Amino acid sequence: MRSRYCRQLQRALGFRFPLPTRRPLLFGPHRLMKPLVVFVLGGPGAGKGTQCTRIVEKYGYTHLSAGELLRDERRNPDSQYGELIEKCIREGKIVPVEITISLLKREMDQAMTANVQKNKFLIDGFPRNQDNLQGWNKTMDGKADVSFVLFFDCNNEICTERCLERGKSSGRTDDNRESLEKRIQTYLESTKPIIDLYEEMGKVRKIDASKSVDEVFDAVVKIFDKEG
């Protein structure tokens, strides 16, 4: 509609000017499908990333790991947030939501601009505290629907052992005992209350994540086959 009007105007004026680009599908007037979101939460090393990879293969979701996006942003030499992100990651603290949500929003928008049918997202490691939750509600209210929260429940000892094992090859600056103690503390103090909040709303699907990868995935499949 708008571009037809522009072309008529171009003809009337007798010269060509650039046509306005389409606004992003997620937030602009051209939005066709609402993103459907599954939040994936659990302690560090609970197996969120491992299971998300399998869910993507079987159910065609787009996997967005907040932690991965922050690590990518930290590596970007043009980013003004690199140092802040690195400090938070090492200390097991949560990065201010404005940064994290802008990265998530960008990825969701890109995915849906590339293929509007791809509207199912696994958002892994978010919302991790009240600030994350408020930022999500402020920015995404009415623009995306949260289907449920997939909660990988795993005790701290197993989580720590898995991360230390991962640390042998991950190159992550936070897969060490000192950072892990802080990450577990942040999980218990800040993330668990968010999971509890969703639990009160009947939105949590809890899985025993201390079992083998295959057994955990069997439980995941039961949930996704039911929830769609």
Chain residues that interact with Mg ion, rule: CB under 5 A: 48-49
119/186 with CB nearer ligand ADP? 186
Burial class of residue 201 (count of CB atoms within 10 Å of its CB; 0-12, 13-18, 19+): exposed
Tokens of 130: 């009240």
Distance CA 226, CA 14 (A): 59
Q: How many CB atoms lie within 10 A of CB 122?
A: 21
Pairing relation of β-strands 120-124 and 36-42? Answer: parallel
Question: Does 82 sit near ligand ADP (CB under 6 A)?
Answer: no
If residue 214 lies in a helix (H) or strand (E), which one and from where to where?
Answer: helix 213-227
Which partner in Mg ion, ligand ADP, ligand C5P, none is near 100 (CB below 5 to 8 A by kind)?
Answer: ligand C5P
Distance CA 62, CA 123 (A): 8
Question: Does 43 sit near ligand C5P (CB under 6 A)?
Answer: no
Segment contacting ligand C5P (CB under 6 A): 3-11, 64-72, 148-156, 208-216?
A: 64-72
Which partner in ligand ADP, Mg ion, ligand C5P, none is near 66 (CB below 5 to 8 A by kind)?
Answer: ligand C5P
* Interaction residues for ligand C5P, span 114-143 (CB under 6 A): 125-126, 128, 132
Instruction: Using CB under 6 A, list all residues that contact ligand ADP.
Output: 42, 44-50, 162, 165-166, 212-213, 216
